[in-house]
Amino acid sequence: MFQKKLGFLCGFSIVIFVCTFIKAQDSLTVYNLGQDIIVTANRVPTAFSDVARTITVIGSKEIEQTAAQSVPELLENISGVDVLQRGTQGVQADISIRGAGFNQRLILVDGIKMSDPQTGHHNMNLPVDLSDIERIEIVKGPGSRLYGPNAFGGIINILTKDKNDLAVTVGSSYGEHNLYNSYLNFSLPLGETRHNFTASKSGSDGYRYNTDFNQYTFSQKSIFSLGAVRLNLSSGINDKKFGANNFYVPQLNNPDQYEETRLTYIQAGAEYKKGNFAFSPQAYLRKHEDTYFWKKNISMPAQHKTYVSGIEANGSYNSFLGITSFGAEFVKEEIESNSLGNHQRQHGGLFVQQQFELNHFLISTGASLYYYSNQGWQGWPGMDISYRPTDNSKIFASYAEGFREPTYTNLYLNFPAKGNPNLKNEKSRSIEVGYSRHDGYFKTDISLFDRNDRDLIDYVKFATDTIFHAENFTKINTKGLELGLSLQNPGLGFQSISAQYAYLNSAINLSGQESLYVLTHFRHQFILGARYKIPLWGGIIQRWKIRYEDRLTGQQQTLVDTRLSWKNKKLSLFVDVTNVLDENYDDIPGVPMPGRWLKLGFEYRVLGE
């Protein structure tokens, strides 16, 4: 019965699509990312049009109209970003950028680092619900000159909404396999202060054996305006319980794995601006708890608690020399574990950057100097140059370096693989050139890059070994190409059409070793998107996303998602169909992903515009 209903839905969508061609409308809504948007993912707030790097910004309108219901599912629509999911709804996902692995990119929430020192598998356990995100900024390529460790292959900065009016919004969605996802947003202005709260809960019985999950998220954000000073306080919780059927080391074929994680987070900071000077200190604490069962209800669990506490301060001064930016941070990381042991380490650093204009060129150059309690001081330079031949276009080039410190799992794991306490930091160097042109109706982006990684950490083994073991085992050179085209209001009823392509070519000498994580990324990636208004139904919008990936592992997959949505000032309704073609695929070999999935949902504004 469900297949018949779904076939009808998809067929009806195609009919409406044809009707839209026949009867195009001129009164279309255009959502355009303006050139004056301020990008913060490069640590120093910079106009989007001046950033001399490949950067993608996903705005709130884009988030509203996609079929994604989690941050990992949303990131799947960005070229060069590789999302390896275990399960659905972002329960467990590894994100890589341009072939750099899941440990090798930095995740930020409102500029605060979310890296987990136990393992990069936990970095997407975020204290934020998708409904509370204003935009996401993705910077591709190393960024250690500004952010220090783990900005090895790229940076993802998630910015939450900052509402200044009284508003209450509720939303919920339901789907097969008893899937549900409900949330409540509440914002309250009080004098010179404003406060935002979001709570969400989701769960499912699972789409196959032992893939059920329950997830709860709560976040709070308060802003206090005191003249030239703005104080901010934020906190959050992310709690997950999920069946992990073959999620980790699927080569050992264990369908009874199970995991519970809990993230608690608090941050306090200030922003001071006077004339040409700006200064922003802040402090944060991130606690993560992980209870992992190799066999649910049978084996003794591995229990881990990590604590990350940090303080940082950033500043900038605008003078006749340009914009001088500077900053410093100190971070302490601790772990308490019945399998990895109890350990702590400290690191900190300084950075400085100078940005100035020379004729039509905008140049940013700088470096960071970073200290580790067990490695001493190390330096990481970089430079970006952009030239704007017209107001709507730019040519850019950049040189960047990055590094990544070993996780506690890399260092001290005993089962099912063996860690190595003598590991060194991974390092990367990247050169990139590109061109972009953005105007009101047409956008085009092209970039070429060459990244050299050394002292890479992975779990490897020779044919004579019985288990995998962690080593700084190789160098790798990755060359890549990315293309992007989009049209706004191209006619025939379309609001937008987009096409993205990414190509990665990695050269590596494994010297007879088998590796767990290196060379699991895609070789070719195509992403097509279309959004159009259905004129027969007064405001219904349909959006399609088609993603094709050809992986180095030999896996090829074509995934199609669609959303039908309707909204007025108070109410919005949507129907999502993910994996429309019912493709059999896995992101992680040995971990099958869901087939076709139908979901229905709504959002209602109880208070506010």
Work out the burial of residue 15: count CB atoms within 10 Å of its CB; fewer than 13 is exposed, 13-18 middle, 19 or more buried.
exposed
pTM above 0.95, yes or no: no
pLDDT value for 43 = 62
CA distances from residue 170 to 167, 204, 443 in whole angstroms, order as listed: 10, 20, 35
Please give the average per-residue pLDDT across 50-72, as a whole number.
85
- Decide if 204 contacts 88 (C-beta within 8 A): yes
Digit-coded pLDDT (tens) for 160-175 = 998 889 999 999 999 9
pLDDT value for 553 = 80
Q: List, in sequence order, every residue forming a beta bridge with 469; answer none if it has no partner.
A: 418, 460
585 pLDDT higher than 50 = yes
pLDDT value for 513 = 78
**Residue whose C-alpha is closest to residue 284's, from 253, 259, 255, 313:** 313
pLDDT value for 252 = 84
Instruction: Give the span between the Cα atoms of 498 and 443, in whole angstroms.
Output: 9
What's the pLDDT band for 283 if we cut at 50, 70, 90?
very high
What's the pLDDT band for 38 if we cut at 50, 70, 90?
low
The one-letter code for the residue type at 476 is I
Instruction: Give the span between the Cα atoms of 424 and 473, in whole angstroms.
Output: 11
What's the pLDDT band for 537 if we cut at 50, 70, 90?
low
* Higher local confidence (pLDDT), 89 or 538: 89
What's the pLDDT band for 365 if we cut at 50, 70, 90?
very high
Please give the average per-residue pLDDT across 328-342, as a whole number.
96
Window from 48-57, 200-209, 411-420 with minimum mean pLDDT? 48-57
Give the Cβ contact number of residue 307 at 10 Å: 16
Across the beta sheet with 112-113, what order do the strands follow? 55-59, 133-140, 154-160, 106-109, 112-113
- Decide if 200 contacts 211 (C-beta within 8 A): no
Q: What angle do CA 320, 144, 417 make, to 5 degrees?
A: 175
pLDDT value for 542 = 93
Helices (H), 57-151: 60-65, 71-75, 144-147
pLDDT value for 94 = 93
Q: How many secondary structure helices (H) and strands (E) does the chain include?
A: 5, 34
Digit-coded pLDDT (tens) for 112-129 = 999 999 999 999 999 999
Instruction: Give the span between the Cα atoms of 463 and 179, in whole angstroms.
Output: 43
Maximum separation of any 2 CA atoms in the chain, in Å: 71
589 pLDDT higher than 90 = no
Instruction: Give the span between the Cα atoms of 70 and 72, in whole angstroms.
Output: 6
Strand 167-175 to 597-607 pairing? antiparallel
Please give the average per-residue pLDDT across 25-47, as a whole number.
47
Give the Cβ contact number of residue 414 at 10 Å: 12
**Residue 254 in tokens:** 């264990």
Give the Cβ contact number of residue 512 at 10 Å: 8
Find the length of the chain. 609
CA end-to-end span of the chain, whole Å? 40
250 pLDDT higher than 90 = no
Instruction: Give the span between the Cα atoms of 539 and 532, in whole angstroms.
Output: 10
**Residue whose C-alpha is closest to residue 312's, from 144, 159, 148, 151:** 148
What's the pLDDT band for 279 if we cut at 50, 70, 90?
very high
pLDDT value for 29 = 27
Rg of the chain in Å (alpha carbons): 24
For the chain, give the mean pLDDT. Answer: 88
pLDDT value for 14 = 38
- Decide if 355 contacts 363 (C-beta within 8 A): yes
Q: What residues have CB less than 8 Å from 368, skipping those under 6 apart? A: 144, 145, 146, 147, 148, 349, 350, 351, 379, 380
**Residue 289 in tokens:** 């708890």
Digit-coded pLDDT (tens) for 173-230 = 999 999 999 999 999 999 999 999 999 999 999 999 999 999 999 999 999 999 889 9
Range of the domain at 578: 2-607
- Decide if 62 contacts 498 (C-beta within 8 A): no
144 pLDDT higher than 50 = yes
For the chain, give percent helix, strand, coil, nearest 5: 10, 60, 30
Instruction: Give the span between the Cα atoms of 121 and 508, in whole angstroms.
Output: 24
- The CATH number assigned to the domain holding 248 equals 2.40.170.20
pLDDT value for 594 = 95
Window from 41-50, 136-145, 343-352, 551-560 with minimum mean pLDDT? 41-50
What's the pLDDT band for 150 if we cut at 50, 70, 90?
confident
Report helix, strand or coil for 238. strand
Please give the average per-residue pLDDT across 471-485, as a whole number.
92
- The total domain count for the chain is 1
pLDDT value for 44 = 62
DSSP letter (8 states) at residue 595: -
28 pLDDT higher than 50 = no
Instruction: Give the span between the Cα atoms of 605 and 142, in whole angstroms.
Output: 41
